[in-house]
Amino acid sequence: MGHTHHAAHTSEVQPRNPAKVKHLLTVTLYLAVLTGVEFVLAFTMPRGHLLTLLFVLLTFVKTFYIVGEFMHLNYEVRMLKLAIIVLPIILISWLVLALLMEGHFVREAIVFIFGK
Protein backbone atom coordinates (compact mmCIF):
# COMPACT_ATOMS: atom_id res chain seq x y z
CA MET A 1 0.00 0.00 0.00
CA GLY A 2 1.56 3.16 -1.11
CA HIS A 3 0.82 6.68 -0.06
CA THR A 4 -0.30 9.11 -2.72
CA HIS A 5 1.17 12.58 -2.79
CA HIS A 6 -1.25 15.40 -3.55
CA ALA A 7 -0.10 18.58 -5.19
CA ALA A 8 -0.66 21.77 -3.23
CA HIS A 9 -3.82 23.63 -4.19
CA THR A 10 -4.42 27.31 -3.75
CA SER A 11 -7.60 28.42 -2.05
CA GLU A 12 -7.94 31.50 -4.24
CA VAL A 13 -11.04 31.45 -6.40
CA GLN A 14 -11.01 33.34 -9.67
CA PRO A 15 -14.15 34.12 -11.65
CA ARG A 16 -14.20 31.95 -14.73
CA ASN A 17 -15.92 34.45 -16.93
CA PRO A 18 -15.99 38.15 -15.95
CA ALA A 19 -18.85 38.81 -18.39
CA LYS A 20 -21.06 36.27 -16.59
CA VAL A 21 -20.19 37.77 -13.21
CA LYS A 22 -21.05 41.23 -14.51
CA HIS A 23 -24.35 39.93 -15.89
CA LEU A 24 -25.20 38.29 -12.56
CA LEU A 25 -24.48 41.53 -10.72
CA THR A 26 -26.64 43.44 -13.19
CA VAL A 27 -29.54 41.02 -12.62
CA THR A 28 -29.09 41.34 -8.85
CA LEU A 29 -29.07 45.14 -9.07
CA TYR A 30 -32.20 45.14 -11.25
CA LEU A 31 -34.07 42.92 -8.79
CA ALA A 32 -32.86 45.01 -5.83
CA VAL A 33 -34.13 48.19 -7.50
CA LEU A 34 -37.55 46.61 -8.14
CA THR A 35 -37.69 45.44 -4.52
CA GLY A 36 -36.74 48.95 -3.39
CA VAL A 37 -39.58 50.39 -5.47
CA GLU A 38 -41.98 47.94 -3.82
CA PHE A 39 -40.67 48.94 -0.40
CA VAL A 40 -41.12 52.66 -1.10
CA LEU A 41 -44.62 52.09 -2.47
CA ALA A 42 -45.56 50.07 0.60
CA PHE A 43 -44.78 52.96 2.93
CA THR A 44 -45.81 55.95 0.81
CA MET A 45 -49.03 54.96 -0.97
CA PRO A 46 -52.40 54.60 0.71
CA ARG A 47 -53.76 51.07 0.95
CA GLY A 48 -56.17 50.16 -1.78
CA HIS A 49 -56.70 48.53 -5.12
CA LEU A 50 -54.04 50.58 -6.91
CA LEU A 51 -51.32 49.56 -4.46
CA THR A 52 -52.36 45.92 -4.69
CA LEU A 53 -52.35 46.08 -8.48
CA LEU A 54 -48.87 47.64 -8.49
CA PHE A 55 -47.58 44.93 -6.15
CA VAL A 56 -49.01 42.18 -8.34
CA LEU A 57 -47.57 43.73 -11.52
CA LEU A 58 -44.12 44.22 -9.96
CA THR A 59 -44.22 40.66 -8.65
CA PHE A 60 -44.99 39.36 -12.13
CA VAL A 61 -42.17 41.44 -13.62
CA LYS A 62 -39.69 40.10 -11.07
CA THR A 63 -40.95 36.54 -11.49
CA PHE A 64 -40.61 36.58 -15.26
CA TYR A 65 -37.19 38.18 -15.03
CA ILE A 66 -35.97 35.56 -12.56
CA VAL A 67 -37.41 32.71 -14.63
CA GLY A 68 -35.95 34.18 -17.80
CA GLU A 69 -32.48 34.70 -16.41
CA PHE A 70 -31.87 31.92 -13.90
CA MET A 71 -33.86 29.21 -15.65
CA HIS A 72 -32.46 30.39 -19.00
CA LEU A 73 -35.92 30.79 -20.49
CA ASN A 74 -34.82 33.92 -22.37
CA TYR A 75 -32.71 31.70 -24.58
CA GLU A 76 -35.44 29.22 -25.52
CA VAL A 77 -37.74 29.16 -28.53
CA ARG A 78 -40.83 31.37 -28.51
CA MET A 79 -43.42 28.59 -28.26
CA LEU A 80 -41.77 27.11 -25.18
CA LYS A 81 -41.81 30.53 -23.52
CA LEU A 82 -45.50 30.91 -24.31
CA ALA A 83 -46.26 27.45 -22.95
CA ILE A 84 -44.39 28.07 -19.71
CA ILE A 85 -45.50 31.67 -19.11
CA VAL A 86 -48.80 32.36 -20.87
CA LEU A 87 -50.61 29.11 -20.13
CA PRO A 88 -50.14 29.33 -16.33
CA ILE A 89 -51.22 32.99 -16.38
CA ILE A 90 -54.42 32.04 -18.20
CA LEU A 91 -55.11 29.18 -15.79
CA ILE A 92 -54.35 31.25 -12.67
CA SER A 93 -56.51 34.12 -13.95
CA TRP A 94 -59.36 31.67 -14.53
CA LEU A 95 -58.87 30.27 -11.02
CA VAL A 96 -58.95 33.73 -9.41
CA LEU A 97 -62.08 34.69 -11.38
CA ALA A 98 -63.80 31.41 -10.47
CA LEU A 99 -62.93 31.84 -6.78
CA LEU A 100 -64.19 35.43 -6.76
CA MET A 101 -67.46 34.40 -8.39
CA GLU A 102 -67.88 31.45 -6.03
CA GLY A 103 -67.17 33.68 -3.03
CA HIS A 104 -69.81 36.13 -4.24
CA PHE A 105 -72.39 33.35 -4.57
CA VAL A 106 -71.52 31.95 -1.14
CA ARG A 107 -71.91 35.40 0.42
CA GLU A 108 -75.28 35.89 -1.27
CA ALA A 109 -76.42 32.48 0.00
CA ILE A 110 -75.35 33.29 3.55
CA VAL A 111 -77.18 36.64 3.44
CA PHE A 112 -80.27 34.96 1.98
CA ILE A 113 -80.30 32.21 4.63
CA PHE A 114 -79.23 34.15 7.73
CA GLY A 115 -79.98 37.73 6.75
CA LYS A 116 -77.61 40.62 7.29
Domain locations along the chain: 20-75, 77-116
Structure confidence by residue, pLDDT tens digits, 35-79: 999 999 999 999 988 998 899 889 988 988 888 888 887 777 878
Residue 19 scores a pLDDT above 90: no
Q: Residue 15 to residues 22, 101, 107, 111: CA-CA distances in angstroms?
A: 10, 53, 59, 65
pTM of this structure: 0.58
